[in-house]
Homo-oligomer: A and B are copies of this chain.
Amino acid sequence: MHGDESCLVRKISHYTALSDTEKHLLNELERESRTVRRHETLVDEGETNRLFVLDSGWVYTFIHTPDGRRQILDLHFPGDVVGTNQIAFAESTCGIAAATDAVICPFPKSGLRSVFSNSPKLTALFYTFAMIDHAAVLDRLRATGRMPAASRVLLVLLQCRARLRIMDPAYSDEFELPLHQEVIGDLVGLSNISVSNALKQLKEEGLIARQGRWISFPNEERATQLIDFADHYYEIDTSWFPGL
């Protein structure tokens, strides 16, 4: 675990208050930790499923096409539980790699069972997180299928900031984007060259500003309107679930 409090507890506290028992259940998932290096593959495609809490750094899940190209499926940030969306399948169909140096806390499937057995509230929240991830994928599917290159890249940038804000509202102004352009392309079906051109175009149109790896949105309203971006991530409706 990293810092005073578990990353998972901090993320979940953004949505709801937690009892000490619940905090204890979650802390159990972050007992062991391991450092991984940028570009390292944590899980290969087809390997058996593995679960971990992401403590720091960014990781992504990916899958290759028969001709060797790559599509990134999910991007994960500190506080995310990685691997839950593969839990229904015996063997993982996608690989996991680190976009930056990262600290992960692996835990066995049984750890999840103890959470689900003991806390309907946490079960509801895990369910909700799965749907938030799902919403992010749907946004990228829409962009990948039906939007031009610049809009697709803009979506990735707005999405990253929206999800970083869950853990740290200080990201409101600008944020550091550690992703290579090839990775951005693999998120929304573009080549690295198109990503470069798109970033240039977005800068020229005043929709983004770049200083090294730091990105900001000088005209945020115009940016969100251009792609109809809605921030699903910050507020959720928990009224429908039992025990909350």
Question: Footprint of B on A, CB under 8 Å?
Answer: 63, 65-66, 69-71, 73, 85-90, 93-94, 109-110, 112-113, 116-117, 120, 123-124, 127-128, 130-135, 137-138, 140-142, 144-147, 186, 188-189, 225-228, 230, 232, 235-243
Contacts and interface: CB of A to CB of B under 8 A. Distances in A.
Give the top 10 A-B pairs by smallest Cβ distance, nearest first: A145-B189, A71-B142, A117-B242, A88-B131, A90-B237, A69-B146, A109-B240, A88-B128, A65-B146, A88-B236
B135 A134 contact: no
24 contacts: A63-B138, A66-B227, A71-B141, A73-B142, A85-B135, A86-B131, A88-B131, A88-B135, A88-B236, A88-B237, A90-B235, A93-B230, A109-B239, A109-B240, A110-B240, A113-B240, A113-B241, A134-B134, A137-B137, A137-B141, A140-B141, A145-B186, A145-B188, A146-B189
Q: How many copies does the complex hold?
A: 2
